[in-house]
Chains A and B, each alone.
Chain A
Amino acid sequence: MIKLPPLPAWARLPRQPLLRHLLFAVVGGVFFYLLTQSLSDFNDFEIGELAVYAIAIAGLSLLTGVNGQISLGQGAFVAVGAYTLAELQVHQPMNLVLELLAATAMTAVVGLVIAVPATRLHGPYLAGMTLLFALALPFLSDKYSNFFGGDQGLTVPPPSAPGSIDPQKWLTWIQLFCALVVMVLLANLLSSRFGRSFRAVRDDEVAASLAGVHVARTKVIAFVVSSACAGLAGGLLALSSGVVNTGEFPLSLSIFILAGMVLGGSGTIFGAWWGAVVVVYLPSQWSQSLASTFHFNHLLSANFAVIAFGAILVVVMLVAPSGIQGGFRWLGQHLVTLSTRPEPTGNISVALQHTTEPDQTGDSSAAEQLPSSGGR
């Protein structure tokens, strides 16, 4: 058997979650900085969208994969964040950081209003309620079109870049920076006491409450965190699209976010990025190239993205509920087991070493399966 030498101390990942997550964020930041430097403006725009969707998907992933609840109306929370930022820019312009924080906070409050009645109960109430919320919200902006700008919507000027930096690159960097900060915060949250209660509530509500976890409160916290993520994503989305109107936030936005989460692997932070790649590129570039390759008629190409995301939701859930990140993890574990397979006499210590190694995202159980939320 090939015995791998243990890594020297400096080459191992830090044991403290905060340091480990910061390390990942710095590596990711350097990667994206180099990437944006080498790409054109349009590609920069898409990288920015990628970061924005990753934020929204990671928030939903925390709610669904880690806490075992589901929101079918995440797009509506994105809309709340976008409108908040746009209204602030129209009526009370201030520092961009404050505006983004306000968009996040406003969406968190709306999330609280939705979550408190729905999470008191066990069952599909939150799913139905968030779907109703997503369908109802556009009617509100139609009814009060003076305030929400009606069909034309509200314009959002792009943030002014300092010095001679290209404005598109500056915006992309802002979006990427926010995404990395959110990822570090979420990863830390997941390895904290809150993360443990989220998982405990997902796995068995009764057992969690017997262990002293306040079940309803924990569910509400998870929902508020996830809607805050969607709100921040909405604020950032408003900056890059330049205009906020109801057409920007159809029900399909909620579907895309949910499908990205399911495909990437629910409950994982890395999975949010894989999902975001699909959400950004599938409706535009990939479906265009598929449409021209296979000569779709105009009805099919208009509906192709919706069909694809519907199929993703159904097929991934039936075939591989742990998504892309789950697949990577399975592959990684499989390769490690193969390369260090003990001889027939058996060497328990090797096997033990894998199981006790700290997990990179601080979340080992979520990727394997979608939550089994407690007894009914």
Chain B
Amino acid sequence: MRLFVNVTLGGIAEGLIFASVALGLVLIFRATNIINFAQGAMAMLTTFIAFSVLGRGVGYWPAFVVALACGLLLGGAVQLVLVRPVENKPPLNAVIVTFGLLILLEGIAGAIWGNTNRSFPAPFSERGLVVGKTSIAFSHFDVFIVVAVLVLAGLIGALFRFSTLGLRMRAAAFAPEAARLLGIRVGRLLTLGWALAAVAGALAGVLVAPTSVFSPSYMDLILVYAFTAAVLGGLDSPVGALVGGLVTGLVLAYVGGYLGGALEPIGALVLLIVVLMIRPEGLFARPTARRV
């Protein structure tokens, strides 16, 4: 029972991290029909930049802000320079470009910071909280993960739902031609969308780094888990990304807790296969029609 509770709590914290990356994937996919395979690598790069800033001795929070700000800039820059030229090309071109960017960023990070495993600090204690008299596998840092991801998701949700800018972004994603006719600068909003998605990724990068080995490839598995979560949630639903992230985190935590951590990636593969076999459109996808 105690194992079950601990595994569940761990799964929730991990699942929210997946949800954060998945949210970025979904924001981009909804707007441009592109899966950004570099989402994890971009987060890796911003986290390494924060790591260098930390090395200057400025404290955790400035470095945290630097990571998110770099995410914003990097996301926008990637969209402008690399993605815009392939936007109206066949979808495979975009897959290859973002995958190439994944490799390129990992190589560059390896050339600057080395491929060795480092450790990234956490702002709060990673020791388990004490409830009653027993300590549970849920630390102050896990609380921070939950709060940070929920706040970010809430902010992004509020932006889309309650602000004019969000309404424009939704219009640009939903019907670019009509939005353009109404005077909306669709191209700029797509750049902004990529920038926001990269912020969600950068947050995940900073949150994952203290709990795992920290090397240029540390986001690879997180990216594919987040992809699984996004597919589970329906690929174009932000709420689906959150729920999908939680479900994926819990399933992988149970697989890891009861069958062994080495089977987690296999568990994700099986989960993805099962989802695609049973409910291929995901849990929260909006219905689509294909035109000839």
Residues of A within 8 A of B (CB): 64, 68-70, 72, 113-114, 117-118, 120-125, 127-129, 131-133, 135-136, 139-140, 142-143, 204, 206-207, 210, 251-252, 255, 258-259, 262, 299-300, 302-304, 306-314, 317-318, 321, 369-373, 375-376
Contacts and interface: CB of A to CB of B under 8 A. Distances in A.
Nearest to B278: A117
A317 B100 contact: yes
Interface in B40-89: 82, 85-86, 89
B147 interface: no
B276 interface: yes
With a 10 A CB-CB cut-off, give which of B89, B96, B112, B292 has the most chain A CB atoms. B96
Interface residues of B, number: 55
Interface of B: 33-35, 37, 82, 85-86, 89-93, 95-97, 99-108, 110-112, 114-115, 217, 220-221, 223-224, 227-228, 231, 235, 260, 262-266, 268-269, 272-273, 276-277, 280, 290-292
B177 to A, nearest CB: 15
Contacts of B35: 124, 127-128
A314 to B, nearest CB: 4
B96 A139 contact: no
B292 A318 contact: no
A121 B276 contact: yes
Nearest to B98: A314
With a 10 A CB-CB cut-off, give which of B85, B223, B231 has the most chain A CB atoms. B231
A368 to B, nearest CB: 12
Contact of A310 (B92, B100, B115, B277): B100
Given A307-B104, A370-B89, A207 B292 contact: yes
Nearest to A132: B224
A317 B97 contact: yes
A70 B107 contact: no
A139 B111 CA distance: 26
A303 B107 contact: yes
Contacts of A310: 100-107
With a 10 A CB-CB cut-off, give which of A128, A206, A252 has the most chain B CB atoms. A128
Given A123-B235, A143-B262, A307-B103, 17 more contacts: A117-B280, A124-B91, A131-B227, A139-B264, A258-B96, A299-B111, A302-B115, A307-B104, A307-B107, A310-B101, A313-B97, A314-B97, A321-B89, A370-B89, A370-B93, A371-B90, A373-B90
B292 A375 contact: yes
Contacts of B292: 204, 206-207, 210, 375
Nearest to A69: B92
A252 B105 CA distance: 13
Contacts of B260: 143
A120 B279 CA distance: 11
B55 to A, nearest CB: 16
Contacts of A122: 290
- In the complex, the 4 A-B pairs of residues with the closest C-beta atoms, listed nearest first: A313-B100, A310-B104, A136-B265, A310-B103
A306 B110 contact: yes
B77 to A, nearest CB: 13
Contacts of A117: 272-273, 276-277, 280
Contacts of B280: 117, 120-121
A123 B234 CA distance: 12
A68 B37 contact: no
Given A140-B266, A370-B89, A376-B290, A129 B272 contact: yes
B7 to A, nearest CB: 19
A255 B38 CA distance: 14
A131 B225 CA distance: 11
A64 B92 CA distance: 8
Contacts of A317: 86, 93, 96-97, 100
Contacts of B100: 259, 309-314, 317
Given A125-B231, A306-B110, A131 B103 contact: no
A262 B95 CA distance: 12
A318 B268 contact: no
